Chain A
Amino acid sequence: MTVGVLALQGDFREHMAMVRALGADAVEVRTPGELESIDALIIPGGESTTIGRLATAWGMMDPLRERIEAGMPTLGTCAGLIFLAAGAVGSDQPQLGVLDVVVARNAFGRQVDSFEADLDVSGLDRPFHAVFIRAPWIEKTGADVEVLASIPDAEGREHAVLVRQGAIVAAAFHPELTDDDRIHRLALGLGEGG
């Protein structure tokens, strides 16, 4: 199995290392041609505005949409979640719109509000240690979207931060910054039994 990691900008090397540790091949994807040979896709953390503008300028939006809508397993983390989503509150940045959610960017605050916390994830037997960096949360979810984890904000209101819709899994946090590969296995069907 070959996992393509969108390498326009962001922490794509961390994702590639995790994929390789799970026994799959990992390749960097920057152009439509490089999309053709992959079986699964990761959209990494980074700056979603930068990734969106580069993807638009280099003709990647439609080829990405086509492959994802055809059912290719796809994992997006942080900026990846924002890029997959159908909308972002108060922003007209380029988004793929393949995941039926609206996100709020930098929803927890600025960098001083970035945090780590243990997260209960539906389907995992013990909590996932999640790293949230200037993270978004999910404001609205469509009917086909399953919420796998949520977290309370400073006022105690719960917000979805890990969701699944068909073959797409998207997280507001960064599993690639930890040694815990369970979300990569869940999203991409890698590892034992995958």
Chain B
Amino acid sequence: MEPSVEHGTDRVKRGLAEMLKGGVIMDVVNAEQAKIAEEAGAVAVMALERVPADIRAHGGVARMADPAKVQEIIAAVSIPVMAKSRIGHFVEAQILQSLGVDYIDESEVLTPVDENHIDKRAFTVPFVCGAKDLGEALRRIGEGAAMIRTKGEPGTGNVVEAVRHMRKMNAQIRWLTTVDRNEMMAAAKELRAPFGLVKEVAETGRLPVVNFAAGGIATPADAALMMQLGCDGIFVGSGIFKSGDPAERARAIVEATTFYEDPETLAKVSRNLGEAMVGIDIDTLAPTDRMQDRGL
């Protein structure tokens, strides 16, 4: 290679997320599911040991997937493969990078190991992190995250929390663009976020990285709702492979994410999809079962 070639730059890391925009990233637990996802038009798959609904049901400590599982999924598809590490577990992240995964999700779905998040700038592979609000997003970006997603309550089939996070993010960005320059440091203090990033968002009116919807998306209408609220794309966890007809539902969610502003198309793709995954009312969850409150 020429001497001027640079790997692992912010532009290259954030750039892959830009290419995933308008697309659907699907949780899969084996090669067969990964192929169904690719065939349905997924832009990437998330390689997991268990989908969030099963992690929630199983209880105990949830960890990085078995490397053999991740490799099986990498070998099965041509689209990017993501995998989850525990929050703060930089060695799981080192292992996932060495396996060749294309993105690491430092995820609240797994059991956190540290109050600190991973120093993501130490890696060549890019990271996506969850955020419930602007301050959390900017803290993660400050640590080196190249992509953000909402932190909707995983494995519930209930999109209410993802909606809440996106609305809050949008409202805080709108507010920040109206803040007087002299009040910018106070704004950074209130958001508990790095000053440089706060100033950047105030000037541009947008996050410096792509922001996807994640957590509780179970139907084509849920995906289109999140897109209309301004998300750049969609993660679907348990919603596909915990439903009655995964291939059909996967295809319908992909099409709904593209044609999110066209209700007639949404009606067409939503027909006869069989049973959606069983949902959970968030108010029935004990505070200790709320994954979104992990790793703020």
Contacts and interface: CB of A to CB of B under 8 A. Distances in A.
Interface of A: 7-14, 30, 45-47, 49-50, 53-54, 57, 78-79, 91, 105-106, 110-118, 131-134, 151-154, 174, 177
A155 to B, nearest CB: 10
11 contacts: A30-B258, A47-B23, A53-B39, A53-B254, A78-B19, A105-B78, A110-B101, A112-B97, A114-B12, A115-B5, A115-B7
Contacts of A46: 19-23, 43
Nearest to B259: A30
Interface in B3-17: 4-9, 11-12, 15-16
Contact of B16 (A53, A133, A151, A154): A133
Contacts of A118: 2, 4
B241 interface: no
B78 A116 contact: no
B198 interface: no
Interface string B22-41: 11000000000000001111
Contacts of A91: 78
A50 B259 contact: no
Interface in B100-115: 100-103
B258 A116 contact: no
A53 B38 CA distance: 10
A50 B1 contact: no
A18 to B, nearest CB: 13
Given A12-B22, A110-B102, A117 B2 contact: yes
B18 A9 contact: no
